[in-house]
Amino acid sequence: MKTEVLRIKTGSDHRDAVDQAAGVLRSGGVVVFPTETVYGIGANAYSDDAVEKIFRAKGRPQDNPLIVHVDSLNSIGMAALTGGISIEPLKTLWPGPLSVLMKKNPLVSSLCTAGLDTVVVRCPDNAFARDMITAAGFPVAAPSANVAGRPSGSDAHDILAELDGRVDLIIDAGRSKFGIESTIVDPLHRPPRILRPGAFAVEDLEKFFPGIVQEKFKIGSDEKPLTPGMKYRHYSPEKPLYFATPAQIIDLNRSDRGREFAYICSRELSGEIDGLRIELGSRENLYEIASSLYSSLRKLDQVPRKMGVIEVFPERGIGVAIMNRIEKAALPLGRAPKS
Ligand code: TXA
Ligand code: MG
């Protein structure tokens, strides 16, 4: 398949690109489009055939359901049955990086929801994405734009390298604003709970979902995963990657085997060590760290080092989502082979 790439600029008129993307979706094709979190690989959520193409393009296991995107709160009924839940919080939080678990509208492809009777719905805070969904005339199923298991696509350049030939169209809008996926909430659960930490921190959501809880799920534990996606290892570069505290990284850097590693770290730590460093941004601004995380994980595979080590960050605010991704992409440094 030949992949066409269309560049758009934020704030400029994107009508032609919207029409072209909506045309591809209406003819059953697959479009990579920008959102404020990460890019999505989108297709018609009502069509099994179209949704099947997403699973194929990503190499995604079919038991892992896709998020369904709508253009506004008014269109929520096109994806979900909203009886019994309060949509009040969504009046403020949408459009935005919040995805909500609801009962599925039977029109949504059961391939899309992996046979579940629930669906996760989101309205992205990106004008292109919403206009495209409006022009298509149906909700758009879209997982993150990456091959399954790899870091999510937050930069059109990385996505083209990875998905060229696998999708019909890529809308290149540069780098995503947050660079980390939406927060998934289950408001039907008592108390409401966070199924996947994301760009909205629990602190941002407490006032809208009183008593909301965030449980930690570890891969390999006996518990049942909160979302099917949780049981898979994720976000991983091809080279071995380990996580460590700044103090451990400084020790490693001074040791003999320190030269074998690339260091994915904050600007502050970068100033304290030598060797090959991939800077994430300032430790004082976790939004900066989030926005460069996935492209930095990808860079590791391009630098002349056998493995990488990544700094850990405080688990507050968006730091919870950052650490959730790091713990899925990497192993603790203690488990690195000794040379
Ligand atoms: O920011 C985002 O949410 C991005 C952009 C493109 O919108 N999308 C995204 O999709 O991250 P994806 O497919 O990479 O992650 C969807 C997650 C998976 O962990 C999946 O298991 C879970 O949502 N999920 C989807 N439908 C579900 C359902 N009905 N019940 C439980 N979990 C569900
Ligand atoms: Mg994903």
- For residue 196, what are the β-bridge partners? 184
Percentage of the chain modeled with pLDDT above 90: 88
What's the confidence (pLDDT) of residue 55? 98
For the segment 140-161, the average pLDDT, to the nearest whole number, is: 96
For the segment 165-175, the average pLDDT, to the nearest whole number, is: 97
What's the confidence (pLDDT) of residue 336? 81
Tell me the average pLDDT of the chain: 94
Which range (66-80, 81-95, 241-255) has the least confidence? Answer: 81-95
Q: Ligand 2 mean position to 320 CA, how many Å?
A: 17
Ligand at shortest distance from the CA of 180: 1
For the segment 291-303, the average pLDDT, to the nearest whole number, is: 97
Residue with the bigger pLDDT between 219 and 12: it is: 12
What's the confidence (pLDDT) of residue 86? 84
User: Which atom of ligand 1 is found nearest the CA of 230?
Assistant: 19
**SS3 letters for the chain?**
CCCEEEECCCCCCCHHHHHHHHHHHHCCCCEEECCCCCCEEEEECCCHHHHHHHHHHHCCCCCCCCEEECCCHHHHHHCEECCCCCCHHHHHHCCCCEEEEEEECCCCCCCCCCCCCEEEEECCCCHHHHHHHHHHCCCEECCECCCCCCCCCCEHHHHHHHHCCCCCEEEECCECCCCCCCEEEECCCCCCEEEECCCCCHHHHCCCCCCCEECCCCCCCCCCCCCHHHHCCCCCCCCCEEEECHHHHHHHHHCHHHHHEEEEECHHHHCCCCCCEEECCCCCCHHHHHHHHHHHHHHHCCCCCCEEEEECCCCCCCHHHHHHHHHHHCEEHHHCCCC
What's the confidence (pLDDT) of residue 68? 98
With a 6 Å cutoff on the Cβ, whether 179 touches ligand 1 is no
Asked if residue 245 has pLDDT above 60, the reply is yes
With a 6 Å cutoff on the Cβ, whether 122 touches ligand 1 is yes
With a 6 Å cutoff on the Cβ, whether 67 touches ligand 1 is yes
Asked if 236 and 149 count as a contact pair (C-beta separation under 8 A), the reply is: yes
Q: Which residues contact 36 (CB under 8 A, 6 or more apart)?
A: 96, 97, 124, 125, 126, 176, 177, 178, 199
C-alpha closest to that of 72 among 14, 127, 24: 127
With a 6 Å cutoff on the Cβ, whether 70 touches ligand 1 is no
The span from the CA of 323 to the CA of 312, in Å, is: 7
Asked if residue 11 has pLDDT above 60, the reply is yes
What's the confidence (pLDDT) of residue 65? 97
The span from the CA of 87 to the CA of 73, in Å, is: 9
Asked if residue 78 has pLDDT above 70, the reply is yes
Q: Ligand 1 mean position to 101 CA, how many Å?
A: 10
What's the confidence (pLDDT) of residue 234? 76
Q: Ligand 2 mean position to 144 CA, how many Å?
A: 4
Pairing of strands 261-265, 307-311: parallel
With a 6 Å cutoff on the Cβ, whether 241 touches ligand 1 is no
User: Which atom of ligand 1 is found nearest the CA of 152?
Assistant: 14
Chain-centre distance of CA 115, in angstroms?
A: 22
The owner of tokens 């909700």 is 139
Q: What pLDDT, in 10s, does the model give residues 17-71?
A: 999 999 999 999 999 999 999 999 999 999 999 999 999 999 999 999 999 999 9
Best residue among 67, 123, 183, 324 to mutate for probing ligand 1's pocket (most ligand atoms within 8 Å of CB) is 67
Best residue among 81, 103, 144 to mutate for probing ligand 1's pocket (most ligand atoms within 8 Å of CB) is 144
Which range (95-104, 105-114, 231-240) has the least confidence? Answer: 231-240
User: Which atom of ligand 1 is found nearest the CA of 228?
Assistant: 21
For the segment 165-187, the average pLDDT, to the nearest whole number, is: 97
C-alpha closest to that of 206 among 221, 194, 195: 194
- For residue 186, what are the β-bridge partners? 193
Q: What pLDDT, in 10s, does the model give residues 195-230?
A: 999 999 999 999 999 999 997 755 555 566 677 766
What's the confidence (pLDDT) of residue 232? 64
State if pTM tops 0.85: yes
Q: Which two tokens stand for residue 85?
A: 């839940």
